[in-house]
Structure 1
Amino acid sequence: MVRWVDLTPRVEQDFFFAENDPQIADSRELARRFPAPEQILVRAAGADPATESGRRRLRALTDALAGVPGIERVYSVVTEDAQRSPLWRRLLLTEDSAVTNLVATTDGRDGRALVPALEAVLADHRDGDLDLAVSGVPVIVEQIRRNLTRDLAVFTLAALVLFGLVTAVVQRSARLVAGTYVTGLLAASITLLLVRLTGGAIGLLTANLITIVFVLALSHTVFLTAGGRRHAWDAHAAVRTTVEGSFWAMLTTLLGFLSLLLADARPLRELGWAGAVGTLVAFACAYGAFPAFFPASREGGAHVEDELVPDVTDPATPPARVARPGRRPLLAALALALVGLAAGLPRLATDPGLLTYFDADGPIRSALERIDADGGSAPLLVSVRPADGSPVDTRD
């Protein structure tokens, strides 16, 4: 699997948008007609450009940033006349005189090489008096990629350990625990291969796909284990009596993931497709592989607890034991609650805002909020063409 599937999270500049989103189509067309270098914005708080010491610190920071490989030019209050120029005044100065911006243009190289060098420079100049925040598309993309890589490793390992321990406590059988691991990892591997073959990749919300599929497969192994105990580990009988309930559980999960395909945001759609594939694969792997790990079938009756769990597929099971009259009010209440919750579907946010994807206390959101308060780090591009088609590079 490692050979055929690239587990490195793929994060691109337009990863929040769907391929058919008209906004991203317009943005790409503007970028094609008017190519421009990517920009990185640094917010420097604590160095007042009106003082000599503040300008000296800003000069040192500007020169250091300009020396970073991949940065073509740095604009700051020490390189441009921000007081006289309306353009630079809006870009470099803020309402707080002690806070100023530095704008760096890049040569478009990979952020995995650019951002670490940039962060090293900022760390050298950051102290108790000078607070530095950085944002911009190359920086955000690289920070997201790092977080996804870390989450992929941490959550996958945590899931394997945690659910392995839970399975060991519940199953109390090394054979069944091994079967659970094999089933979950097999389902995750096949899911990653299928997602890869269909053009998918590890993205913003699919970094934990291995964990998701492992848990989905685990739920089906619980069904099968209960059926195996009920039928003295007869695999055919266990599958026959549990497949219906397991199927409906799988179907509801599948429909939930498929509903995400209706969203506009690309991360949600990627999660919907990958989750749908994983749901089907987990069901197939659980019923195709896990019964092979059942202990040897034993002749004789079932366990004592079987009396507490009626076999609903047995014609001899009294109907009263399957659906007791006392449960009908509860079922009716659940149905009414479901209808009430369905009324909120039109209010579902299918295109959430950019900041909602990040932890409120995380470094990415913190930097975005601080820099956005001073005007933001991404320019608004507007294309203007005279109605009569005349050129715009004339005096008129």
Structure 2
Amino acid sequence: MTYLNYSSDVLKEKDGYWTAKEIQQQPMSWRCALASLVEKKAAIDDFLNPILAIPNLRIIFTGAGTSAFVGESIAPAISAKLGKRAEAIATTDLVSNPHDYFQSDVPTLLVSFARSGNSPESVASVDYADASIKECYQLAITCNAEGELFKRCTGKNKLALLMPPETNDISFAMTSSFSSMMLSALYLFYPVADFKEQFQKSIVATESLISTHHQAIKNIACKIFERVIYLGSGIFKGLAREGALKLLELTDGVAVSSFDSPLGFRHGPKAIVNDKTLVMLFISNHPLTRKYDIELLNELKADSEVGEIAVVNAQVGDDLSASDCLVLQGMETVDDVFLLFPYIVCAQIYGFEHALAIGNTPDNPSSSGTINRVVQGVNIHAL
């Protein structure tokens, strides 16, 4: 078997087998996750519909690390689509400062994302919410049936949804777990009549990205940059944050990365740019947002200071030619939320290939062993 154009033997030698496999398997895992959700739709609707009908409902998307960035990547679009208060707050904030975030008298649906469901904050946020909010509902979207989060979210006012088993990533970095949980939340909370048709375009574009654009991404990843900046507007800012984390994790911090929005980047953070900087820019399909994204791209080009700009985009035309960017075919008219999937796979492949380029081991990237697959050493204190 080959994954990301490497044989299994080569990947095992480089200690990157599971990361490569889990990146490449994502389109297949998305199909499985979507089929499972469709099969469970009646039970899901029975749970969610009465909750979503509550007039002053507050929805909190939560998780730790990558799981938190699932919520950051989808909350703005879901809030706009549902016309409800939906926000992303990490478990690492909810647990340390529940008094700042939970509102006792506001009906709340806490949607928890977790790969293993065993991180201390994942479990504590569920318990703290139950103790802090008078009318609290819990939905867990997780990849591990044996995890504490999955076990906690059964019973009255609670529902646990399990992702396909292969999404419980064996590698250190979360890849297929992130995207599959994101898909599930969008299916539940982003009501568009042609969801399946638009998402099918995400699957096809991602498969094409892996097979067609992999070498172009690898060519960039083999160049050594001191700094890598991920930029995206709106929902793509959360995705940019996840891209930056993937690079930090897979390179064991050797590649220094950060994230921002294109507009926010101008307000000081652009000082980080020099000739040893790579900027990866996720371009929106929305006509207004796209104007701001392109303006920042043109400004970076005019400055002539950045080492390289990697532009990921779904539309070509007068504002952006095919020669200027990596173009995702067939995605020209989809809602931005459906671009999240091929965009993050692009960032995952870059992080994987750059880790190999600098001689790091993607499956077990922490040379010191001080960073673990499931966070350790957190003591949970009583409210």
TM value normalised by structure 2: 0.22
TM value normalised by structure 1: 0.22
Higher strand residue share = 2
Higher helix residue share = 1
